[in-house]
Amino acid sequence: MKTLHELTERIIAFRDARDWEQFHNPKDLAISLSLEASEVLEHFQWKSPEEIKEYLKTDKEHIGDELADVFNWVLIMCHDFGIDIAEASERKIKKNEEKYPIEKAKGKHTKYTKL
C-alpha cells in the first residue's frame, strides 16, 4: 500500500508531465475539489436506502474512482500549500474532540454551535 507521500509524488508527477501546474491556482483547485465532491454526491441522489445498498455493491469501483478524485485533489492542494495532511487530519480530529465532547455529543447529530 502506497503511503501518502508516495501517492502525492505520483499525482504531482502526473501533473508535471502534462505541464498543468500553470492552471493550478488555489481558487481553481478549490473549485475542482468542490466539483469532484459533487460528483460523489450525484451517485446517491434520488436513491432510497435500499437502492444505495445495492448500488454500493454493483458500482463500488465507480464510487471509488470519484472518492479518489476528491482525495487526489486534497493531496495536490496540500502539496502546493505546504500542508502535511496526516498532521492536519489528526489535529482536526483533536479539535473536533474538544468541540464535540463525548458526554454532550453522544448519540446526537447536533452541530457543536447548538450543543
- Contacts (CB under 8 A) with a second copy, residues 54-93: 56, 60-61, 63-65, 67-72, 74-75, 77-78, 81-93
Residue from 49, 58, 98, 114 in contact with a second copy (CB under 8 A) = 49
Q: Say if CB 99 and CB 28 are below 8 A apart.
A: no
CA–CA separation, 56 and 29 (whole Å): 28
Residue from 41, 99, 112, 115 in contact with a second copy (CB under 8 A) = 41
Backbone angles phi and psi of 94, in degrees to 5: -60, -45
| Total number of residues that touch a second copy (CB under 8 A) | 76
**Shortest distance in whole angstroms from residue 50 CB to a second copy:** 11
CA–CA separation, 71 and 65 (whole Å): 10
**Shortest distance in whole angstroms from residue 59 CB to a second copy:** 10
Cell 501546474 belongs to residue: 21
